[in-house]
């Protein structure tokens, strides 16, 4: 690993295989923490490549809880976090809307990073367990279209690396790869990133780890979600190609909404917002969820356009199907009979 560190420090990028070797070393308990910190900091200063991202993701997934996908086209809509927008839990709420539209979604997530409340925080407040077994994940996906994968639970072997990352206290490659490390073999995915310059790099990496369809989005004001505040930048993976487009609220007949209107709060407040959306209450929160869920449904391939995705998202909410997916997940979490 020291040789690979020197290579990176000399501004030379690693091949996918070299990055896999370095990543395996990072997972090794005998590797010095300082060496790990120096390595990921050197990567940050050089600039991460698709090869390096793919190499690391493959090793992280190798060490993850192995969960077989029970259905042919399960998706995820996890973002990287880190945008500092303090928004409510957009992708978490959108995940239930996607599930209510009869698309299976393995929602990968963690506790708060840049917001006050992460996906795990708000779901835990609502009564959702964070420690589903692989069998329970499979059962939930088949019967409820949604399961939650709490990152520390499905990635138990990454604690050593996370310790070094936390000590550094600055964003690194690990702030980019979270959404790509979902342990299921997904066919499609919506990924939000705040680092717009990495849009195409993440899209390339996403395709190389097996996504046949997908969208990587950097929202207006560099949010890691689609935003109704202005112009969104999208990298769309389709037909083995990546194309970059922009999307504004008026393109999909949604109102322009300032980012200040979708600020969230603590777990209690964000749970209230999430429930208000799933109960069909009109708001800036609902419109933002419609955009993000519509994008996810288009990324999945369920609909031929983002506009059609938004229409389907409205049906999912207004029929209360999305709310039912949440209620079932909470019931499952608290029922010993169902959890067996």
Q: Distance between CA atoms of 316 and 85, rounded to whole angstroms?
A: 27
Residue 102, marked binder: no
**Distance, CA of 212 to CA of 234 (rounded, Å):** 16
Q: Is 79 annotated as a binding residue?
A: yes
Q: Is 84 known to sit in a ligand binding site?
A: no
Would you say 89 is a known binding-site residue? yes
Identify the bridge partners of residue 217 per DSSP, sorted by sequence position.
192, 234
Strands 188-192 and 146-150: unpaired
Give the per-residue SS3 of 120-170.
Answer: HHHHHHHCCCCCCCHHHHHHHHHHHCEEEEEHHHHCHHHHHHHHHHHHHCC
Distance, in Å, from the CA atom of 189 to the CA atom of 217, rounded to the nearest integer, reads: 11
How far CA 68 is from CA of 14, 101, 136, 147, 326, in Å, comes to 30, 22, 11, 13, 23
82 marked among binding-site residues: yes
Evaluate whether 14 touches 8 at the Cβ level (below 8 Å): yes
Tell me the longest C-alpha to C-alpha distance in the chain: 58
> What is the end-to-end Cα distance of the chain in Å, rounded?
44
- The answer to the question of whether 91 is labelled as a binding residue is yes
Q: Is there a binding annotation on residue 214?
A: no
Q: How far apart are CA 244 and CA 234, in angstroms?
A: 6
Cross-strand bridge partners of residue 232: 247
Task: Determine whether the annotation assigns residue 131 to a binding site.
Answer: no
Q: Is 108 annotated as a binding residue?
A: yes
Does 111 belong to an annotated binding site?
Answer: yes
Q: Is 321 annotated as a binding residue?
A: no
112 is in an annotated binding site: yes
> Would you say 81 and 113 are in contact if contact means Cβ atoms under 8 Å apart?
yes
Residue 31 marked in a binding site: no
- 225 has binding-site annotation: yes
CA nearest to 14, candidates 28, 30, 3: 3
Specify binding-site residues for 5-phospho-alpha-D-ribose 1-diphosphate: 79, 82-83, 87, 89-92, 107-115, 119
Specify binding-site residues: 79, 82-83, 87, 89-92, 107-115, 119, 165, 224-225
Specify binding-site residues for anthranilate: 79, 110, 165
Specify binding-site residues for Mg(2+): 91, 224-225
């Amino acid at each position: 690993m020291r040789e690979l560190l020197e290579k990176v420090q000399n501004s030379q990028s690693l091949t996918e295989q070299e990055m896999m070797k370095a990543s395996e070393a990072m997972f090794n308990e005998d590797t010095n923490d300082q060496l790990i910190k120096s390595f990921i900091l050197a990567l940050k200063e050089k600039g991460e490549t698709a090869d390096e991202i793919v190499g690391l993701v493959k090793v992280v997934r190798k060490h993850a809880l192995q969960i077989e996908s029970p259905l042919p086209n399960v998706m995820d809509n996890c973002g990287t976090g880190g945008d500092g927008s303090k928004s409510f839990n957009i992708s978490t709420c959108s995940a239930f809307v996607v599930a209510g539209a009869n698309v299976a979604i393995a929602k990968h997530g963690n506790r708060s990073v840049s917001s006050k409340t992460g996906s795990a925080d708000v779901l835990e407040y609502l009564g959702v367990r964070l420690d589903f077994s692989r069998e329970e994940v499979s059962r939930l996906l088949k019967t409820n279209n949604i399961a939650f994968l709490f990152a520390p639970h499905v990635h138990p072997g990454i604690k050593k690396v996370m310790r070094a990352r936390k000590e550094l206290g600055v964003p690194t490659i690990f702030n980019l790869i979270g959404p790509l490390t979902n342990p299921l073999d997904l066919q499609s995915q919506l990924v939000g990133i705040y680092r717009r310059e990495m849009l195409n790099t993440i899209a390339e990496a996403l395709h190389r780890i097996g996504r046949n369809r997908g969208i990587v989005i950097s929202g207006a004001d560099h949010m890691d979600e689609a935003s109704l505040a202005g112009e969104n930048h999208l990298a769309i993976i389709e037909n083995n190609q990546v194309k970059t487009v922009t999307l504004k609220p008026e393109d999909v007949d949604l109102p322009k909404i300032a980012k200040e209107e979708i600020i969230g709060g603590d777990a209690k407040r964000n749970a209230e917002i999430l429930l208000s959306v799933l109960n069909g209450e009109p708001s800036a929160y609902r419109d933002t969820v419609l955009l993000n869920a519509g994008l996810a449904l288009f990324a999945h391939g369920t609909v031929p356009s983002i506009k059609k995705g938004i229409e389907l998202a409205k049906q999912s909410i207004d029929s209360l199907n999305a709310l039912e997916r949440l209620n079932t997940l909470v019931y499952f979490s608290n029922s010993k009979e169902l959890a067996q």
